[in-house]
Structure 1
Amino acid sequence: MAWKLLFCRSAVVALALFAWAGASYAQADEARARQIIGGSCFLCHGPDGEAASEGFPRLAAQNAEYIAKQLENFKSGKRKSSAMSSMVANLSSDDMAALGRFYASRPAHQEAAQDPQLALAGQTLYQSGNQQSGVPACASCHGKDAAGNAALPRLAGQHAGYLQAQLKQFNQRERTNDNAVMHAVVEKMTAAEMAAVSQYLSGK
């Protein structure tokens, strides 16, 4: 009986130590991310990834793995950006992962679409696509809630101007680091459709 009691106490101690170690790691991880953000990222993306300007993406609530991948791509040159290449030049893979986890933990920003009527047209395109032109439903990859996954970005709540700019880059083959499916999809979209779906997602 005594050995069972000793075993139980040892298990409790081990679990407590494991929980403490996990909490300590999480705190150190967040501190590391905040230090990097405070040095440069906040200038464009805000301290919590809220990005006030439409010229920069909101990173709050974005998928951690997706953020880390984009940072790696900026560093390798696979994704082109003169501004970002210098920002990530000294970041390690661990730094990028820490930044991804930090931004993923921040609350998403929600605000109404600036053009509700255009957003309504964008909603139809996002959910059902355009059968006449062959544009598939965006929801088939990015999900009905536009939350994405580890490989695909969260689109819900993103700036309309930023989303529209990225769609144009895919269309013109200026952005080639992500899923080639995007090229096949966007080449079938009109400028009006890009604006509409971007407006819808900004208010989602």
Structure 2
Amino acid sequence: MNPRARFLTTIGAAALGVAALVPPAHAQADEARARKIANGVCAMCHGDNGESTSEVFPRLAGQNAEYISKQLKAFKSGARKSTAMAEMVAKLTEDEMLALGRYYEKMAPTRENVKDTGLAAIGAYLYQNGNRFSGVPACASCHGPDGHGAANLPRLAGQFSGYLFTQLKQFSKRERTNDNVVMHTVAEKMTELEMAAVAEYLSTK
């Protein structure tokens, strides 16, 4: 290779190396846009750092990005029912929904203090092992041993116990239908005590 060609190759490689270190412009814009939307709209119910102060509204800090995006799409399409959320997401694009998910996923989640140790202990057993007598499977088989979920499955660890209990009730009555139908058959087999126990356990994780 002649000196000129070698020089151009070296310069090109250096430029590519620098480019690899710089985040894409659209990624920076997405995060800035997500922050603006979160602070201007979402914070009213979900708190400044995704830490809602009411069990009516779920904690978003640390929640899986794709799952948040999936739920926002469901609220917008009407697959998941909520008059308040439908209004909030009406003008959001899919890119903005995913950007919001990534924004909240980066935040450090918290957890509740144990309020009922006995109930939490029952919940821990049910979560990890299920109830073979009634056919309730182990929650951990889908949501993971630590309750962290997966890309399209929610992080349950650290969520409000009251919120989790409400969602299980909605699944059991088929009032919430936008997610995996497996949750209907699981929740239908659970007693309210079991729902409350699992919710108490997960809120402390």
Q: Residue 14 of structure 1 corresponds to which residue in structure 2?
A: 16
Aligned to 1:84: 85
Amino acid paired to 1:143: G
Alignment partner, residue 111 of structure 1: 112
State the 1:182 CA deviation.
Answer: 0.3
TM-score with structure 1 setting the length = 0.95
> Which has the larger displacement, 122-131 or 108-117?
108-117
Change in CA separation of 1:10 and 1:83 when aligned onto 2, cut-off 3 Å: same
2:154 is aligned to 153
The DSSP-based 3-state class of the residue aligned with 1:39 is helix
1:68-106 Cα offsets, whole Å, 9 max, x none, are 010000000000011101111111111101101101111
8 Å contact kept, 2:76–2:90: yes
Q: Distance in 1 between matches of 2:10 and 2:204?
A: 52
Report what 1:128 is aligned to: 129
Return 88-97 or 103-112, whichever deviates more: 103-112
> What SS does the corresponding residue of 1:47 show, helix, strand or coil?
coil
> What is the match of residue 68 of structure 1?
69
Whether the aligned pair in 1 keeps the contact of 2:112 and 2:160 (CA below 8 Å) is no
- Structure 1 range deviating more: 25-34 or 120-129: 25-34
| 2-structure distance, mates of 1:163, 1:110 | 13
Q: How many residues align?
A: 203
3-state SS, counterpart of residue 22 of structure 2 = helix
CA distance in 1, matches of 2:51, 2:6: 52
The letter of the residue matching 1:32 is R
Letter in 1 for 2:15: V
RMSD between aligned alpha carbons? 1.3
| Aligned-residue offset at 1:6 | 3.7
Unaligned runs of 5+ in 2: none
Normalised to the residue count of structure 2, the TM-score between the two structures is 0.94
Asked if 1 retains the 8 angstrom alpha-carbon contact of 2:65 and 2:104, the reply is yes
Pick which of 65-74 and 3-12 moved more: 3-12
2:31 alignment counterpart:
30
Secondary structure of 2:36's counterpart equals helix
Percent of aligned pairs with the same amino acid: 59
C-alpha distance in structure 2 between counterparts of 1:188 and 1:93, whole Å: 35
SS at match of 1:56: coil
Offset from partner CA, 1:20-61 (integer Å, 9 cap, x none): 243x44332221011111221101101221111111101111
CA shift digits 1:118-143 (9 cap, x unpaired): 11110000000000000000000000
What are the superposed Cα offsets for residues 158-201 of structure 1, whole Å, 9 maximum, x if unpaired?
00000000000000110000000000000000000000000000
Query: Take 2:188 and 2:104, find their aligned partners in 1: how far apart are those partners?
Result: 31
Deviation of 1:5 after TM superposition, in Å, equals 4.9
Runs of 4 or more off by more than 3 Å in structure 1? 1-6
Q: Which structure 1 segments of 5+ residues have no match? A: none
Equivalent in the alignment of 1:100: 101
